[in-house]
Amino acid sequence: MAYCGPRGIPLSTFLSWSEADQEAALAWQAHESRRCGSCGTHPDDWSPQAGGDREAYHAEVHQCPGCLKVERLKQAPHVVTGPPGMHIRLADGIHRDCPRCNPET
CA distances from 85 to 46, 56, 76, 82, 88 (A): 38, 39, 19, 8, 10
Q: What is the pTM of this model?
A: 0.57
Cα(9)–Cα(16) distance, integer angstroms = 11
CA 65 to chain centre: 17
Q: Give the tens place of pLDDT for each residue, 3-31.
A: 999 999 999 999 999 999 999 999 999 99
Q: Give the tens place of pLDDT for each residue, 31-71.
A: 999 999 999 999 999 999 999 999 999 999 999 999 999 89
Tell me the domain boundaries of the chain.
1-105
